[in-house]
């Protein structure tokens, strides 16, 4: 269950943002939702983090009126009700597929996490094996 | 350095010189550890070498070399490129200039995190279990086999010493624990932070422990269970624990 990866990316996305009905924040929620939707539910059976996240994201999107905010963002009129006064995000805030700190390079966090193939590129370079992972680290003295 | 293996063994080791962390059909990672200047016996990592091996006739990756050394954390491979393979199966990402670089290897779903903290290098990796190759009894991969027994340091015993000749030792230890706790470091990472501060006095190692904790929380598949209790080895030890040292 890769929910921690999705949550990490969401935290990185929203770290420099003020929560609220702002386009940057709503886009981060959208990314979070897409990432969670890519996870196979079977791999998260009994994982409270996963199930609560599935519930919380739509709640936040409703609370912050994200549907309207993003619609107005795409069709700006002369009387926009929502001020977009967020601090600039780490990634510039307007690239839907950027990962934290990628400086505009190709997005790879979702690629590694996702079972779904990326659009474009060769399928031959997609990992299709087991998604059971291990970690190793070395630090200090 | 302090090592968490693929099997979650946590060790403190000497391992001076060059040692392999991982070698398999896809990549090789190797560290070089040097003695610290003041003769404490401790060593730290001042060089990391990663070799990406060719995959699918160069479609996903060509052979690439990445080398980080103390004072130089490159954002490219040795040949100046930031990707490898016609389909860019490998990408280097600079997260924080001079401090944090990541190598993403798409076709094996592997992520390598390299940091420079102070004058030393830290390493973390997440890779699929099925790709880890055990090389038998002669295996030297630190990530797979851990450090040889002769290279291991019993840091718990070291930290529990109360009869050191240094009259200030106890005060130093209380101070080190306070600094590491203040940085919100816990579990074995707290112990290693205290150990490093006591052996070197270099506050950069507090940051190294904090970064390692960040990486394990991000990369370990069971991090939320791993740190459920957030206890150090001292909590259940027979020697004086942190609470005793801190006077309750």
Contacts across the A-B interface (CB distance below 8 Å): 168
| pLDDT, mean of residues B78-83 | 96
Report residue B17's pLDDT band, with 50, 70 and 90 as the boundaries.
very high
| pLDDT, mean of residues B209-230 | 85
Tens-place pLDDT, residues B41-72: 779 999 999 999 999 999 999 999 999 999 99
Q: Report the gap between the CA of B11 and the closest CA in chain A (Å).
A: 10
Report residue B40's pLDDT band, with 50, 70 and 90 as the boundaries.
low
For chain B, what percent of residues have pLDDT higher than 70?
A: 87
Beta-carbon contacts of residue A48 (< 8 Å; ≥ 6 apart): none
What residues in A contact B5, CB-CB < 8 Å? 136
Statement: residue B144 has pLDDT above 50: yes
CA distance B37 to B53: 35
Whether residue B59 and residue A124 make contact (CB cut-off 8 A), yes or no, is: yes
What residues in B contact A141, CB-CB < 8 Å? 1, 36, 42-44, 120, 196, 199-200, 202, 205
Low-confidence stretches of chain A (pLDDT < 70) are 16, 76-122
- Decide: A124 and B60 in contact? Cβ < 8 Å: yes
Q: Which helix (H) or strand (E) holds A1?
A: none
CA distance B177 to B195: 9
- The pair of structure tokens assigned to B102 is 């990541």
Whether residue B199 and residue A141 make contact (CB cut-off 8 A), yes or no, is: yes
| pLDDT, mean of residues B235-240 | 49
Statement: residue B29 has pLDDT above 80: yes
What residues in B contact A134, CB-CB < 8 Å? 6-7, 126-129, 132, 221
Write the ipTM: 0.92
What residues in A contact B88, CB-CB < 8 Å? 106, 121, 125
Q: Is A124 helix (H, G, I), strand (E, B) or coil?
A: helix
The pLDDT value given to residue B214? 92
Of A49, A3, A111, A141, nearest to B46 by C-alpha is: A141
The pLDDT value given to residue A120? 42
Task: Please tell me which residue, B50 or B199, carries the higher pLDDT value.
Answer: B50
Statement: residue B229 has pLDDT above 50: yes
The pLDDT value given to residue B68? 97
The pLDDT value given to residue A49? 77
With b for 16 or more beta-carbon neighbours within 10 A and e for fewer, the A41-63 pattern comes to eeebeebeebeebbeebeebbee
Tens-place pLDDT, residues B99-120: 999 999 999 999 999 999 998 9
Number of neighbouring beta carbons within 10 Å of residue B213: 24
- Averaged pLDDT score across all residues of chain B: 87
For B124, nearest residue in chain A (alpha carbons): A137
Task: Please tell me which residue, B87 or A117, carries the higher pLDDT value.
Answer: B87
Task: Please tell me which residue, B33 or A55, carries the higher pLDDT value.
Answer: B33
Whether residue B122 and residue A139 make contact (CB cut-off 8 A), yes or no, is: yes
């Amino acid at each position: 269950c890769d929910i921690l990866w999705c949550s990490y990316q969401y935290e990185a996305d929203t770290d420099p943002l003020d929560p609220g009905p702002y386009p940057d924040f709503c886009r981060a929620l959208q990314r979070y939702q897409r990432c969670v939707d890519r996870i196979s539910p079977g791999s998260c059976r009994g994982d409270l983090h996963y199930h609560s996240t599935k519930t919380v994201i739509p709640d936040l999107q409703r609370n912050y009126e994200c549907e309207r905010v993003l619609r107005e963002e795409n069709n700006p009129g002369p009387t926009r009700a929502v001020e977009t006064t967020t601090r600039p995000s780490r990634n510039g805030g307007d690239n839907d597929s950027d990962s934290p700190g990628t400086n505009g390079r190709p997005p790879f966090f979702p690629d590694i996490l996702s079972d779904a193939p990326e659009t474009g590129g060769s399928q031959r370079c997609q990992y299709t094996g087991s998604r059971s992972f291990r970690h190793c680290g070395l630090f200090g003295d | 350095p302090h090592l968490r293996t693929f099997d979650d063994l946590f060790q403190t080791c000497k391992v001076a010189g060059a040692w392999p962390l991982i070698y398999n059909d896809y990549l090789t990672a190797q560290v070089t550890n040097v003695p610290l200047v003041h003769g404490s016996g401790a060593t730290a990592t001042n060089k990391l070498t990663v070799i990406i091996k060719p995959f699918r006739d160069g479609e996903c990756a060509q052979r690439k070399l990445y080398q980080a050394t103390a004072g130089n954390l490159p954002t490219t491979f040795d040949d100046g490129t930031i990707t490898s393979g016609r389909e860019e199966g490998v990408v280097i990402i600079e997260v924080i200039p001079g401090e944090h670089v990541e190598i993403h290897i798409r076709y094996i779903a592997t992520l390598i995190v390299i940091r420079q903290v102070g004058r030393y290098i830290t390493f973390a990796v997440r890779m699929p279990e099925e790709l880890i190759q055990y090389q038998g009894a002669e295996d030297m991969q630190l990530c797979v086999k851990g450090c040889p027994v002769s290279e291991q340091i019993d840091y718990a015993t070291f930290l529990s010493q109360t009869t050191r000749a240094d009259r200030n030792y106890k005060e130093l230890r209380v101070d080190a624990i306070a600094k590491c706790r203040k940085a919100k470091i816990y579990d074995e990472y707290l112990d290693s932070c205290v150990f490093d501060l006591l052996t070197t006095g270099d506050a950069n190692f507090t940051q190294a422990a904090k970064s390692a904790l960040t990486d394990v929380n991000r990369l370990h598949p069971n991090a939320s269970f791993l740190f459920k209790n957030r206890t150090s080895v001292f909590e259940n030890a027979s020697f004086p624990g942190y609470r005793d040292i801190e006077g309750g």
